[in-house]
Structure 1
Amino acid sequence: MQTVVITGGTDGLGRGLAVHYLRQGARVVAVGSTPAKGKALLAEAAAVSAADRAVFLRADLTSVAAAEELVTTIETTCPSVDKLVLCAQRYRLFGPRTVTSEGFEHSFALAYLSRYVLSHGLRKALESAPRPVIMNVGTPGVPLGRIHWDDPQLTHGYSGTKATLQSFRANDLLGVAFAALYADSPVSHVGYNPGVVSTDMPNHLPAPLRVLTKAAFALLATSVTKAVAPMVRLLDEPPGERCTAYRSSRRLPLKGPAFDQDAALRLHHLTQDLVTGAKP
């Protein structure tokens, strides 16, 4: 039986993938922060006779310590992990800068640091599977945002958009560094841009923008069911290369600053120091 671990597994694309793999007979470990949504997913699993294969783990993925505890829990309960899907994200495009209890800027912590910890932390569990794959859901192929090397926590000149875009660029480099560091590993790391998908993301926006975004989603967004299909194809038949990037079904060239190996390794070492420093 395959084991599929999905962060953000109780919402949007993550939930869509969770339900798909439960229907396919896999064991699904869905990670989320809201117990009510976890309970709803488990009820849906029971409705398709998959209650014994569905696990909800509550975790605050803005915390490095919580992400590391999650790695330990998964390693303890799962002999191997076939697919790791990293979807957890909460857009904070507006409002003041906020930091986690460990002192990290919120978007950097949730959308990047948690993925760093889980990717590296679960590597051995993934390598125990026959065709292991990490899918890092973000925006590869979008030439916006950059790493603020001198101030990655954006203590100066903060904006929510700047922070969100930095986290996406960091995830592009995460895949490149992972492939470079573990060149002999069988794990495929896929950076994946699903395009515009009809999820509940607008619910977290300020009222006027929320209405406009929902209207745009109604016209332009792909349904979760349709958006999941190309993701499943890549997860079930991962590319042979250690690092790839896709926008839906279209493969993207790993060129330019977004995929520069020197920058990727620089970010890896910087992140390693940050993660180590967060430990008590």
Structure 2
Amino acid sequence: MRTVVITGGTDGLGKGLALHYLREGARVIAVGSTPAKGEAFLAEAADSNRATFLRADLTSVRAAMDLIATLEDICPTVDKLILCAQRYRLFGPRTTTHEGFEHSFALAYLSRHILSHGLRKLLEPAPWPVVMNVGTPGVPLGRIHWDDPQLARRYSGTKATLQSFRANDLLGVAFAALYPDTPIRYIGYNPGVVSTGMPAHLPRPIRPVAKASFAVFATSVTKAVVPMTDLLDDPPGDPFTAYRAKRRLALSGPAFDQDAALRLHHLTRDLLDAAAPGPS
């Protein structure tokens, strides 16, 4: 039986993927931060033998590491790791986690770095292991702020969000470069605009406009899942690929620069080493 782990798996696109793989007969572990959403997912799944909810606040380095330890205890292997957990903070003041990381950097990038590398030993024994990092490859906005990755000096929510997206492009490039012999296929994936609950997290003045726009332009979760599962079930042969919906992207330009990817990897490791969470 295949094992599929999905962060952000109790809501939106992550939940759509979780329910799809349950229908396909897989064991699905949905990771989320809200118990009520986890309970709702399990009720909808209606299969307690193959559906599992694990609560984890992935803004926390310790929580991400604890999640890896839990998965190592309950899973002999992981076939697919799908990274969807995200909460946009485009407006408002800068906030940090209790470990001192800027919120978007922690949730949208750092947790994905930790899980991608930390679950490699569970993924590699699987017959066709895949990591899908759901973000925005192909969107030429944002950059890495090398001198201030936590944006402590000139913060904006939009700047932080876009930096996390660009960091995830480089994460996939670095993963393939660091493990040239791994059987894991790493896919950076941009689903486009999907009809999820994202507008509900926006400030009240623009929330109705965003909801109206989503109603007109967004693809349904049901439709958005189809090209994703096609890739997950029949991944490309290359170690790292990037897609915008069904279109494969050229791995050229600064978004996929290997030197920058390895630079970010080492910077991230230094940040994690400096945080050095003790035993839980």
Determine if the TM-score, normalized by the shorter chain, exceeds 0.5: yes
Q: Deviations over 1:7-57 (max 9, x none)?
A: 0000100000000000110000000000000000101111xxx22000100
Gaps of 5+ in 2: none
Which residue of the partner structure matches residue 40 of structure 1? 40
Cα deviation for residue 276 of structure 1 reads 1.6
Specify the alignment match of 1:152 in structure 2. Answer: 149
Q: Does residue 19 of structure 1 match 2:19?
A: yes
Deviation at 1:156, TM superposition (A): 1.0
Query: Secondary structure of 1:245's partner?
Result: strand
Cα separation, 2, equivalents of 1:69 and 1:278? 15
Code of the residue aligned with 2:84 in structure 1: it is C
Code of the residue aligned with 1:41 in structure 2: it is F
Secondary structure at 1:156 match in 2 = coil
Alignment partner of 1:80 out of 71, 77, 80: 77
List aligned pairs for 1:242-261, cutoff 5 A: 242-261=239-258
- 1:102-117 to structure 2, matched below 5 A, reads 102-117=99-114
How many Å separate the matches in 2 of 1:75 and 1:125?
7
SS at match of 1:148: coil
1:100-119 Cα deviation digits (max 9, x unpaired): 00000000000000000000
Partner AA of 1:210 in structure 2 = R
Q: Report the Cα offset of residue 208 of structure 1.
A: 1.8
Task: For residue 52 of structure 1, give the secondary structure of its aligned residue in structure 2.
Answer: coil
Structure 1: which 4+ aligned runs deviate by more than 4 Å? none
Instruction: Confirm or deny that 1:139 pairs with 2:159.
Output: no
Where does the alignment leave 5 or more consecutive residues of structure 1 unmatched?
none
Give, in angstroms, the shift of residue 76 of structure 1: 1.1
CA distance in 2, matches of 1:150, 1:70: 30
Three-state SS of the structure 2 residue aligned to 1:207 is coil
Q: TM-score, with normalisation over the residues of structure 1? A: 0.98
- The reply on whether 1:277 has 2:237 as its aligned counterpart is no
1:225 is aligned to: 222
Q: Which amino acid aligns with 1:131?
A: W
| Equivalent residue pairs, number | 277
Provide the rounded CA distance (Å) in 1 between the counterparts of 2:75 and 2:113. Answer: 20
Aligned to 1:194: 191
Q: Distance in 2 between matches of 1:277 and 1:77?
A: 30
Output one character per residue of 1:205-237: Cα deviation in whole Å (capped at 9) or x when no partner. Answer: 011211000000010000000000000000000
Identity of aligned residues (%): 77
Per-residue Cα deviation, 1:183-225 (whole angstroms, up to 9, x for no partner): 0000000000000000000000011211000000010000000
Q: CA deviation at 1:278?
A: 1.5
How far apart in 2 are the matches of 1:210 and 1:132?
39
Alignment partner of 1:266 out of 235, 247, 263 = 263
Q: Distance in 2 between matches of 1:158 and 1:218?
A: 31
Provide the C-alpha distance between the structure 2 equivalents of 1:83 and 1:38, rounded to a whole number of angstroms.
Answer: 20
User: What is aligned with 1:185?
Assistant: 182
Shift of 1:157: 1.1
Provide the alpha-carbon RMSD of the alignment: 0.5
1:277 Cα deviation (Å)? Answer: 1.6
TM-score, with structure 2 as normaliser: 0.98
Shift of 1:67: 0.2
